[in-house]
Structure 1
Amino acid sequence: MNAAFAYDAWYPLAWSRDVGRELTTRRVLEEDLVVYRTEGGSVAALDDACPHRLAPLSLGTLRGDAVECGYHGLTFDCSGSCVSAPGMPRPPLSAQVRSYPTSESMGMVWVWMGDPRRADPAQVFRLPQYDDPTYSVVEGDALPVQANYLSLADNLCDPTHVVYVHKTTLASAGREETRVQHERQGNKVVTWRWVIDGPLIPVFQGLKDFGGANVDRWHYYHYHAPCIAVIDFGSARTGTGAPEGNRDDCIQMYACHFITPIDQRSCMQHWLVLKNSPADPAVDARLRDSLRLAFNEDKRVLEAIQRNEDKPREWKRVHLALDGSSIKMRRIVEEMAASSSA
């Protein structure tokens, strides 16, 4: 099942740490880009194809802030204009490469794949807690997932799968029937559930001492269509008023998932975590390992789903009550795709 892409949106392109003064390639919405950092530190993203013979520009050479094609030497600046063509006093006017607006936020490079006139850097996603000194950042990975990005989006709108998929990391037993609520807020879907008077989940072990007492645990899934999911989850000692808003003495994390749709059958899941406790190399390493395990558990299921979807079979998707938030999310993406342009 192919899904239309919403082009007029900021998409995660790469970790800022992975973009430097060398030519690299990224694929976004089925478009191949050559990406590099200019001498001034900004990020350039161009179509990875020279208009002469379609040789990938990523096979060329970076000269200053311009890319020299590795086949016949045509050279393009970071705006996509050809500034040099060997054997010609002036390059052909038609020798242009499409360039894409970029911006940086939360340790990520973001790219605008649609109409550049609509690209507003002020709209690039940034979670306020990222700049809050009471939170520390645990930067994660870029996890390749061989599945359509909306399948991953379904997963990130869905607290109910946790008890079945993440038994050793994010779940506590016996909570399968806990009520889930959801609502649409503009181009965002919020899905939430509370688990009252239960044990601390494995991934929170060692982060805060509750003296062995049970906790009240929340999960709020904020899905910003088309490609951003922020999961606010945490725990406070049972009976201290967390459901009513008193979370002064709690564990709280924001798991941020920035999804790059590569094509119809693959995507990249960039993730990081903000936690309301100081950075600690040992604690952060343990947390990172636990979350890697959890996200690989999702990857295993989603890739198996994609393999089944790729098989020639007659079938109709069955919807359950728990699918409400993902249905809302997909409807938003469809609306955004219908109103945007490549």
Structure 2
Amino acid sequence: MNPAYAYNAWYPLAWARDIGRQLSTRRVLEEDLVVFRTEDGRVAALEDVCPHRLAPLSLGTLQGDAVQCGYHGLAFDCSGQCVAAPGMARAPGGAQVRSYPTAQSMGMVWVWMGDPARADPAQVFHLPEYDDPGYSVVEGDALPVRANYLSLADNLCDPTHVVYVHKTTLASAGREETRVMHERQGNKVVTWRWVIDGPLIPVFEGLKDFGGANVDRWHYYHYHAPCIAVIDFGSAKTGTGAPEGNRDDCIQMYACHFITPIDQHSCMQHWLCIRNSPADPQVDERLRASLRLAFNEDKRVLEAIQRNEDKPREWKRVNLALDASSIKMRRIVEEMAAAG
């Protein structure tokens, strides 16, 4: 195991919509998995290697709920135990691969990469608004990002970059100096800022009619270490009491980001949006396109950063006051990795 990772945690593996009755592969924390859905609909995840000659099991076939190696035909059940071997009346007892616990929540399949005895499905992340009939869900993409997942985590703890990176989607001009607050809550970091009496941001246009009036806008970044970010952001007409807690007449969204660390140089960003208005195919598609544009703007910057980090020279980072949340987040991940 790589000491840089916190293994005893639930990680997003794939969209549930993408796992079926065919073998597929995923890489999580530098470990290759073969993944499939069983006949009764559960998701199985096994180490993607046959212990006979180290052929990837994903090159084989699914026989019922057993994976048959495509090289010499050994078959492994969902627990990873070899249950059949050609030419042998009894499967070799020592032939076994690792099986990883899985669970499903919020349209995602999650995997536990650490000690299986500590895998509690009740601890899989779930946002209550996902099931609230007053909200609708816009499911997004699985966006590959060629950058370390903690670099993406930095981004998702940081409201200050929005005005520079997301000028046409999530930002409004002239708010660069708006105060940012932050605090640690257990294994979570919360970062927030309010923009008072400003224009509606582009991604909110057309979602609610404020009659052209300015709005009070909030951004609360909830980062659940090591791999989950939920951004609660919204707007209410200026002067209606949103900063004091009155959000009865507002736009509110939760942008959920579920990050799969692939290795030290790449990750997968699964995202969805939950909003406090009914589903509408045209509105949803426009929102999906706007968010896709915004997250690709982040991707462009983060991948450029990773290319610089990979250059054979020493870089001395300069920290600013705005980095406080990211520093807290990385400290939590280090603590979790050390404990795991």
Q: Which amino acid aligns with 1:122?
A: A
Provide the residue aligned with 1:148 in structure 2.
148
Aligned equivalents of 1:314, 1:158: Cα separation in 2 = 25
Deviations 1:36-95 (A, max 9, x none): 000000000000000000100000010000000000000000110000011111111110
Provide the residue aligned with 1:159 in structure 2.
159
Q: Secondary structure at the match of 2:286?
A: helix
Q: Secondary structure at the match of 1:79?
A: coil
- Count residues in correspondence: 339
Q: Are residues 1:27 and 2:27 paired?
A: yes
Aligned equivalents of 1:127, 1:339: Cα separation in 2 = 26
Deviations 1:107-151 (A, max 9, x none): 000000000000000000000100100000000000000000000
Q: Secondary structure at the match of 2:309?
A: helix
Contact 2:135 2:277 in 1 (8 A): yes
Deviations 1:277-304 (A, max 9, x none): 0000000000000000000000000000
TM-score, normalisation: structure 1:
0.99
Contact 1:3 1:264 in 2 (8 A): no
Contact 1:47 1:97 in 2 (8 A): yes
Provide the residue aligned with 1:115 in structure 2.
115
Deviations 1:211-265 (A, max 9, x none): 0000000000000000000000000000000000000000000000000000000
Provide the residue aligned with 2:127 in structure 1.
127
Q: Which amino acid aligns with 2:207?
A: L
Aligned equivalents of 2:314, 2:195: Cα separation in 1 = 38
Aligned equivalents of 1:231, 1:41: Cα separation in 2 = 31
Provide the residue aligned with 1:48 in structure 2.
48
Aligned equivalents of 1:253, 1:314: Cα separation in 2 = 40
**Ranges in structure 2 where 5+ consecutive residues have no aligned partner:** none
Equivalent residues in 2 for 1:200-279, closer than 5 Å: 200-279=200-279
- Segments ≥4 residues shifted beyond 4 Å: none
Q: Which amino acid aligns with 2:76?
A: F
Deviates more, 1:25-34 or 1:310-319: 310-319
Provide the residue aligned with 1:87 in structure 2.
87
Aligned equivalents of 2:204, 2:114: Cα separation in 1 = 40
Compared CA separation, residues 3 and 115, structure 1 to 2 (3 A):
closer
Aligned equivalents of 2:88, 2:39: Cα separation in 1 = 27
Contact 1:21 1:36 in 2 (8 A): yes
Q: Secondary structure at the match of 1:54?
A: coil
Contact 2:309 2:315 in 1 (8 A): no
Aligned equivalents of 1:298, 1:314: Cα separation in 2 = 24
Same amino acid, percent of matched pairs: 88
Aligned equivalents of 2:306, 2:150: Cα separation in 1 = 11
Tell me how large the CA RMSD over aligned residues is: 0.7
Aligned equivalents of 1:247, 1:132: Cα separation in 2 = 16
State the Cα distance separating 1:335 from its structure 2 match: 0.3
Compared CA separation, residues 319 and 3, structure 1 to 2 (3 A):
farther
Q: Which amino acid aligns with 1:314?
A: E
Contact 2:3 2:337 in 1 (8 A): no
Q: Secondary structure at the match of 2:99?
A: coil
Q: Secondary structure at the match of 1:219?
A: strand
Q: Secondary structure at the match of 1:5?
A: coil
TM-score, normalisation: structure 2:
0.99
Q: Secondary structure at the match of 1:329?
A: helix
Q: Which amino acid aligns with 1:128?
A: P
Q: Are residues 1:307 and 2:307 paired?
A: yes
State the Cα distance separating 1:3 from its structure 2 match: 7.6
